Structure 1
Amino acid sequence: MNDYMGPMHSASGFYKTPVSKGLLGVSLLSSFLLNFPLHNHRHLFLYSQAAIVERHQFWRLLTSKLAYLDIKDLFVCSLLIYYFRVFERRYGSHKFASYMLATFVVGTGLEMAAAFFLRWLGFKYELLPSGPMCMVYPLFIPYHLDIPRVAFGHILGVPVTGKSFQYFLGLQLASGSAESILVAVCGLFCGILWRIDFLKVQTTLKIPKFVASLSCSTLGRILESKAPSGDNTPMGATLELQRQEQMEHLEQQMIWQAVQQQQQGQNINMAQNLVNGPGLFGNQIDLGGLRNRLNIGGDNPPGQAVEEPITEENVQHLVDMGFGADRVREALQASNNNVSAATHILLQDS
């Protein structure tokens, strides 16, 4: 998968992501209504474990997930939903919607069980945060495991990767209160359970095909987004193939950085530390024998530029980040088919 989630102003928008678009739209609309014109009805959307268990108001399990009653939670979760829409393109809308259903059921169950257990231990807590956080936090699991990181630099001596901003958003969302931490932990644990297919949750909590087909022919037409102009490159077919392709792109990028450092007379171990060293929430990547395979320090004289032809793999890599195919080819041509340099060109031109 991609090592970048794409910029916020990505030209692709919500193309091929109707479920993410619908989730974000419902959350924004309901939250706006409840925080302004319909604020007198906010009490119906409170996530109260006591009201659910003691007064049997089970409908709160649904209404409490429809809207964010905290503006900060609304803003942060909206950003995360937008960033994580890339998973809908990888899984497909049907599987992604089934993922949302499974995390909603399992995550809500974990939240209720944890809240009940803490009350039994004598811990006092206020209302749990409202909003579909149980469907947002589990996405950090595939985000951490499937998306390799690229080190960008340092801020105050702390290594920063291309994945750091999303992690900061998650930490900001969980740092509001003890109740927010509880919901965050339950969401992450829910993502792990789905990942390992605990008790066959992936096949048990799955939206039937006829329901998916009916939704596609009705709601899907309403939520459908137009294809970005100038982008005719098809998206990848499977998560496994894209992960393999993107890992190869990442390895080539790291090797290119190592070559540049070697030509400048720097120690090649610095490149190894860049890849395998400590990074903020980063994944370690072992280059193995790639240096020998890619002929680092081989026959090409130092400082001599070698023109690289544009590869369709690199074009697909940047197109999946949300850029148009024509702009991608121009950037790769200008950067000698280097993905990292082309990304900077595209971001500056956006």
Structure 2
Amino acid sequence: MNGGPSGFNNAPVTRILVIACVLFTIIFGIQGRSNKLGWSYEDIFKKFQIWKLILSIFAFASTPELIFGTYLLYYFRIFERQIGSNKYSVFILFSTIVSLLLEVIAMKIVKDSSLKALTSGPYGLIFASFVPFYLDIPVSTRYRVFSLHFSDKTFIYVAGLQLLFSSWKRSLLPGICGILAGSLYRLNILRIRSMKFPEFIASFFSRLSWPSSGNIPPAAPARNTVGSMPSYAGRQVEGNNPAPVRSTVDPPEDSISTLVSMGFDRNSARQALIRARNDVNAATNILLESQAR
């Protein structure tokens, strides 16, 4: 089990999010202000320091949190590939806003001196992603070390636990709120799972992205080198009328691997890609619809 092909193929939103987290964390770390990024109830509702709330979404408070956090964000790009960048953007917005609202409510209710300020970082999104990770990502490999049983999902859970308890209560509360936000998304509150942004907003992230190293460039169209006469190679002739033959070229291997990493059968993934003309998102929808029948 893995997140599919390496790199950010078909995951432009995740790419931008990871880069933003790294840059914000480094900038505030260099300035020595990383310990001031955590926000408190007083900061928001008494001092009106809304900037702290916004920055807390992107900047991690320490290097270990940055390492584990960006690794999990990078791995969870599998969900952007699965549901598409548009719906994944809705998931990011929903899980972040709902998680922050739950954190604010908890900060108001819980009277604990150790919770004066929560740690910073996209905890809501990361731990909301553990809900579909637990429910939808199948285990492909199981192994045993001494008397302990593990699977290929174990390291993701370990990384999540490390991040969850990195700042004890200050990180535990955002993590729990993130899980609750992911559960609400899973329950399709307000039909959130069917919502999409307008296409021009969704394509904005793609325009910001640069090509991944694993992308396969489109093949150049075949040119006829004999004047302007049409080429009939690859056609079957029936009588006097040439009939086109359906292409049997296999879909790209990285696209098949992406769908297989989501738990789909390899042959089914290949057939879906052929039907979807190698569009991974469309092929995913075809496979999900076939499973729902």
Compute the TM-score of the two structures, normalised by the length of structure 1. 0.60
Higher mean displacement: 95-104 or 10-19: 10-19
Residue 24 of structure 2, aligned match among 30, 48, 63? 30
Q: In the alignment, what sits opposite 2:158?
A: 168
| Secondary structure class of the residue paired with 1:153 | strand
Alignment of 1:259-270 (within 5 A): none
Displacement of 1:196: 0.6
Distance change (3 Å), C-alpha of 1:178 and 1:217: closer
Residue 232 of structure 1, aligned match among 252, 269, 282? 252
Distance change (3 Å), C-alpha of 1:74 and 1:110: same
Higher mean displacement: 10-19 or 90-99: 10-19
Q: Is the 8 A contact 1:149 1:163 kept in 2?
A: yes
Residue 184 of structure 1, aligned match among 175, 181, 184? 175
Q: Is the 8 A contact 1:141 1:188 kept in 2?
A: yes
Corresponding letter in the other structure for 2:252: N
Q: In the alignment, what sits opposite 1:52?
A: 44
Displacement of 1:199: 3.1
Residue 14 of structure 1, aligned match among 1, 8, 11? 8
Distance change (3 Å), C-alpha of 1:44 and 1:174: closer
Q: Is the 8 A contact 1:125 1:179 kept in 2?
A: yes
The superposition leaves residues 41-75 of structure 1 with CA deviations (integer Å, 9 ceiling, x where unpaired) of: 44663322221122122232211112112111101
* Whole-angstrom CA distance in 2 between matches of 1:23 and 1:217: 13
| Secondary structure class of the residue paired with 2:110 | helix
Displacement of 1:155: 2.3
Distance change (3 Å), C-alpha of 1:313 and 1:207: closer
Displacement of 1:187: 0.5
Displacement of 1:98: 1.3
Residue 200 of structure 1, aligned match among 191, 207, 229? 191
| Secondary structure class of the residue paired with 2:255 | coil
The superposition leaves residues 107-160 of structure 1 with CA deviations (integer Å, 9 ceiling, x where unpaired) of: 1111111121112xx564242110111111111011110111245222241110
2:2 pairs with 1:5? yes
* Whole-angstrom CA distance in 2 between matches of 1:242 and 1:43: 38
| Secondary structure class of the residue paired with 2:28 | helix
Alignment of 1:116-155 (within 5 A): 116-119=108-111, 124-155=114-145
Q: Is the 8 A contact 2:41 2:116 kept in 1?
A: no
Displacement of 1:203: 5.3
* Whole-angstrom CA distance in 1 between matches of 2:210 and 2:110: 41
The superposition leaves residues 24-57 of structure 1 with CA deviations (integer Å, 9 ceiling, x where unpaired) of: 0010111111112x22x44663322221122122
Q: In the alignment, what sits opposite 1:297?
A: none
Displacement of 1:99: 0.9
Alignment of 1:89-104 (within 5 A): 89-104=81-96
Q: In the alignment, what sits opposite 1:256?
A: none
Corresponding letter in the other structure for 1:209: E
In structure 2, list runs of 5 or more residues that go unmatched: 218-250, 272-293
2:55 pairs with 1:63? yes
Displacement of 1:314: 8.0
Q: Is the 8 A contact 1:103 1:138 kept in 2?
A: yes
Q: Is the 8 A contact 1:68 1:130 kept in 2?
A: yes
| Secondary structure class of the residue paired with 2:50 | coil
Q: In the alignment, what sits opposite 1:159?
A: 149
2:207 pairs with 1:218? yes
* Whole-angstrom CA distance in 1 between matches of 2:269 and 2:93: 34
* Whole-angstrom CA distance in 2 between matches of 1:156 and 1:233: 36
Q: In the alignment, what sits opposite 1:340?
A: none
Displacement of 1:11: 5.3
How many equivalent pairs are there?
A: 237
Q: In the alignment, what sits opposite 2:267?
A: 312
Distance change (3 Å), C-alpha of 1:112 and 1:315: same
* Whole-angstrom CA distance in 2 between matches of 1:87 and 1:180: 24
Corresponding letter in the other structure for 2:99: G
Q: In the alignment, what sits opposite 1:284?
A: none
* Whole-angstrom CA distance in 1 between matches of 2:26 and 2:105: 30
| Secondary structure class of the residue paired with 1:59 | helix
